[in-house]
């Protein structure tokens, strides 16, 4: 894939002689939106670029609706593959932004919840992993409002979806490291009840050669397992599994996706990815969601791995500035409730 450079309309953040931040012009930002320096975009709960068309009627939403067979496959297997969620225009903008965001010390890095230029525990491998890009650059911010993502989230959660957090993963060509077998909810027990969903979006064509994601079919029925080190031993989770479950790891399903396509998975489905030994990069952006009504379960013993997340008091519904509602039933309620969706 050709290397994309930032559009000419982008300028580096700077300071005036008085110390004030100069405006930074970002490609695709809607007229009337001024971004000074690189401010936190998290409080803005609507698209800030011209990259997203927002449906408002059943007719406009209809092209993004999952079929009954797709919903049934998700409930049976714990995952759904091959849903196109990103447009070509979004992909081009995301390419330019990601190239900048992967450079440590970039403007706005302080807004990330976590930022690991290399989370691999193998000194010969590289695994870029960061959480919070939606706060830092407009194209990543606006991924949240992609209609296909929002509709699939509503149907696969069976309820109005709220944004939880996003992630970036990048495995460079030939040296990309593993993501160990794991379940997402093992890292998220500071929110409850479990009513979560992940959308994994390919920014490159992905297959076995460049370390694609792999799912263990039906593993969402195994119960909650202990969480491993994400960039550590690929097989660490196997120590917790019974014989047949271990055998299922060897029958994992490779998630082959075209750039711009997504997979969706259940919070307990076991998944991971091997090294990238190919001559191609393997980059992805993820959006994690939960059903409206999920509450904070944050205690001294159960908390996220960073203090950067917006805090919600124990027992209070997750919401507010850091956790926007992405699809409110509103006037569409009667039509939405007739769509195929998980039984809950």
| pLDDT of amino acid 37 | 60
Pairing state of beta strands 213-215 and 253-254?
A: antiparallel
SS3 172: coil
Cα-Cα end-to-end distance for the chain: 41
- pLDDT value of residue 302: 78
- pLDDT score of 1: 36
**Residues present in the chain in total:** 344
Positions in the chain whose pLDDT score sits under 50: 1-36
Whole-structure pTM value = 0.88
Cα R_g (the chain), whole angstroms: 20
Domains and CATH numbers, the chain: 58-336 (2.60.120.620)
Which token pair is 126? Answer: 């590289």
What is the pLDDT at residue 62?
A: 97
* pLDDT at site 344: 65
What's the pLDDT tens digit per position in 92-112? 999 999 999 999 999 999 999
């Amino acid at each position: 894939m050709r290397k994309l450079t930032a559009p000419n309309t982008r300028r580096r953040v700077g300071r005036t002689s008085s110390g004030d931040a100069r405006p930074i012009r970002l490609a695709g930002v809607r007229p009337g939106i001024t971004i000074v320096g690189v401010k936190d975009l998290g409080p803005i709960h609507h698209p800030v670029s011209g990259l997203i068309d927002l449906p408002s009627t059943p007719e406009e939403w209809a092209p993004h609706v999952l079929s009954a067979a797709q919903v049934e496959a998700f409930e049976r297997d714990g995952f759904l593959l091959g849903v196109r969620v990103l447009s070509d225009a979004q992909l081009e903008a995301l390419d330019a932004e990601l190239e900048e965001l992967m450079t440590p010390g970039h403007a706005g890095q302080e807004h990330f919840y976590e930022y690991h230029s290399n989370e691999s525990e193998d000194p010969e491998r590289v695994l870029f992993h960061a959480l919070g890009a939606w706060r830092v650059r407009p194209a990543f911010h606006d991924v949240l409002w992609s209609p296909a993502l929002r509709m699939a989230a509503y149907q696969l959660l069976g309820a109005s979806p709220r944004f939880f957090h996003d992630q970036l993963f990048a495995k460079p060509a030939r040296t990309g490291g593993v993501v160990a077998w794991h379940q997402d909810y093992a890292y998220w027990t500071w929110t409850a009840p479990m009513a979560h969903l992940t959308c994994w979006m390919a920014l490159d064509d992905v297959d076995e050669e460049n370390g694609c994601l792999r799912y263990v079919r039906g593993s969402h029925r195994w119960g909650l397992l202990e969480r491993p080190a994400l960039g550590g031993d690929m097989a660490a989770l196997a120590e917790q599994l019974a014989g047949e479950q271990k055998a299922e790891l060897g029958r994992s399903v490779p998630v082959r996706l075209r750039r711009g396509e997504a997979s969706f998975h259940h919070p307990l489905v076991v998944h991971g990815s091997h090294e990238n030994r190919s001559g191609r990069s393997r980059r992805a952006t993820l959006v994690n969601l939960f059903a409206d009504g999920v509450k904070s379960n944050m205690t001294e013993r159960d908390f996220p791995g960073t203090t950067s997340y917006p805090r919600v008091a124990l027992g209070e519904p997750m919401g507010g500035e850091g956790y926007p509602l992405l699809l409110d039933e509103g006037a569409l309620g009667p039509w939405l409730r007739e769509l195929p969706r998980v039984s809950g």
